[in-house]
Amino acid sequence: MGLRNLLGVALAFALVASGPTPAQASAPVTPPGTPQVAGTQFLSAATVDLAWMPAATGTNPIAAYEVYARRPGWNYPDQLLTTTTSAWVFVPIGGLRPATTYQLYVRARDTSGLPGPASAPVTIATLPSDIVPGPPVATDATATTATVSWRPPAVAIERIAGYDLIVPPATPTQPIQIRTSTGPSTTSAQLTGLRPGTTYTFIVVARYTDGTPRSAPSARGTVTTAPSVPPSPPSDLTVTTLTPTSATLSWTASAPGDFPISRYYTYVNGGALGVPNPGPDVRTVTFAVSPGSTYEVYVRAVDQAGIYSAPSETFTFTAPGQ
């Protein structure tokens, strides 16, 4: 082979050897894991509360959980009932038909839109609408009280043993709280001890004398109390007595808002002072200090409805040395 041919072969080999490297195969994308249904509560004519364990995260973060329903024996697509970011809390599921059997399941979907496997289905049978009371409705609400009423179920009154007004638990580990109970002919309740400017969620459960079914819960209802004027901030904060090891703090009383002052809370360097909180007629506290240390203190008032004032102005002082 001549020199010219040898140079041509070498050049061709060099071009092949220096060509682009084949692309590496991308890593497979893992979808979210399978949620596990943790339980149901308060099955009604058209609603049920459903809770599930969080799914394991795949390649991408979980964006949402989707709750689906299928009706056994029906050749229709499964129905998407709700989409939520919640997990391990009871999620109210609506859009169901009375006296109907459903299989509910949950699947996670990640931020790329990739769905994970469906959970094992849970079977429910909604109640007939005639045995379910109406949701509680606020007929009168103040800052700390509210009257709620509900529509009785369309059954003979002799079948009703009474009603329970219930605060639904948020998670499967929380207990059910019965706020009040009434007799069979009472379909309203007066609530006291509420916090101003707060929304409460309730359901009504009808208790039946025949026990079949044992009870029938209403859909959820909410009650929002009226806002309240808070106390004014304490004023004229000062240290009246100061030694290397103790300081006595005093202030001028707050002006009450809508409710009388209950007590004062004192704070030092951003945390609680660590002394008993004085009542409304005591406006001084004594607490331990360290020689040469600097302290920032302030005070807040709280009224009998549990509403706090804004903080007083911060007072700064340094304990004298020994």
pLDDT tens for the 322 residues of the chain, in order: 454 444 344 434 444 444 455 545 578 999 999 999 999 999 999 999 999 999 999 999 999 999 999 999 888 999 999 999 999 999 999 999 999 999 999 999 999 999 999 999 999 999 999 999 999 999 889 999 999 999 999 999 999 999 999 999 999 999 999 999 999 999 999 999 999 999 999 999 999 998 777 789 999 999 999 999 999 999 999 999 999 999 999 999 999 999 999 999 999 998 988 888 999 999 999 999 999 999 999 999 999 998 999 999 999 999 998 7
Written as six digits, the tokens of 203 are 């359901």
pLDDT at 184: 96
Burial state string for 190-219 with b = 16 or more CB within 10 A and e = fewer than 16: ebeebebeeebebbbbbbbeeeeeebbbbb
Answer yes or no: do 264 and 290 share one domain: yes
Domain boundary residue among 125, 151, 172?
A: 125
Answer yes or no: do 134 and 212 share one domain: yes
pLDDT at 24: 54
> Does any domain span residue 84?
yes
pLDDT at 7: 39
Q: How far apart are CA 232 and CA 261, in angstroms?
A: 10
Answer yes or no: do 188 and 260 share one domain: no
Answer yes or no: do 219 and 301 share one domain: no
- Indicate which CATH number applies to the domain containing 239: 2.60.40.10
> Does any domain span residue 162?
yes
pLDDT at 16: 44
Residue ranges making up the domain that contains 303: 235-318
Answer yes or no: do 172 and 146 share one domain: yes
pTM for the complete prediction?
A: 0.74
Count of structural domains within the chain = 3
Written as six digits, the tokens of 171 are 């998670």
Domain boundary residue among 125, 158, 191?
A: 125
> Does any domain span residue 212?
yes
> Does any domain span residue 11?
no
pLDDT at 174: 93
> Does any domain span residue 64?
yes
